[in-house]
Amino acid sequence: MLLKIERESLIDWYQKMFDTGLTNGTSGNVSIFNRKEALVAMSPTGVGIDRLTPEDISIVELDGTLVEGLKPSSEVEMHNILYRNREDINAIVHGHTIYATTVACLREDLPAIDYMIAVAGGNNVRCAEYATYGTRELAENALQAMEGRKAVLLANHGLITGAENIQNAFHIAEQIEYISKLYVKAKSMGEPVILSDDEMEKMVKLFKNYGQIKN
């Protein structure tokens, strides 16, 4: 069985997504890229976490060709386009979260309402232009909006994060969902104060090694 360690890790972190409310039902997906083998382990399409086994995990090449396991997520190209273009990303978490998706439904960027947004690599999390799920257009939009960042909002869709490993991709997703919740709640009371670009530039530098889990 190819990428046995990655398959088992994916199931554990996919379960955590459901446990923490980062996704629901059979929505959302996760993947890990093994650069040495040039293969991606990815959650399959339409299989609930309660029935998912290591053998079910999809193993695909970077062009989307299925090597082992079940049919991959419909968002296979959105994962693979990032792996092909971002050497700093080896794992991806995509969730249909409540608050980040709420912001994405407004088609707005998530601003620096909280300094912890620096975990995503900048002073905001951009919202990618809308495109139908599972299309190359959506993958290209996500790649463009995620330039210089480790997170992106998908208009009327959800959140995607990437990092050097699955632990950090998950951590970033949790933080961006939390900050999105703060933003939605603050907007319901008034107009939140956004941290300055100068302050966020300092935060991004400080966060380069903050809380980073190494492989």
- How does pLDDT run across 162-212, given as a tens digit for each residue? 999 999 999 999 999 999 999 999 999 999 999 999 999 999 998 876 655
Assigned domain for 67 exists: yes
In the chain, % of residues over pLDDT 70: 97
In the prediction, which pLDDT does 213 show?
Answer: 54
In the prediction, which pLDDT does 12 show?
Answer: 95
How far, in Å, CA of 1 to CA of 164, rounded?
A: 23
Assigned domain for 211 exists: no
Assigned domain for 84 exists: yes
What's the mean pLDDT in 24-51? 91
Residue 63, pLDDT > 90, answer yes
CATH number at residue 181: 3.40.225.10
What's the mean pLDDT in 88-112? 97
Assigned domain for 175 exists: yes
Number of domains in the chain: 1
Assigned domain for 31 exists: yes
How far, in Å, CA of 183 to CA of 111, rounded?
A: 8
Assigned domain for 214 exists: no
In the prediction, which pLDDT does 212 show?
Answer: 53
Angle (CA) 12 13 18, round 5°:
100
Assigned domain for 64 exists: yes
Catalytic site positions = 75
Domain residues for 187? 4-206
Residue 114, pLDDT > 80, answer yes
8-state DSSP, 44: B
Assigned domain for 215 exists: no
Residue 25, pLDDT > 80, answer no
Mean pLDDT for all residues in the chain:
94
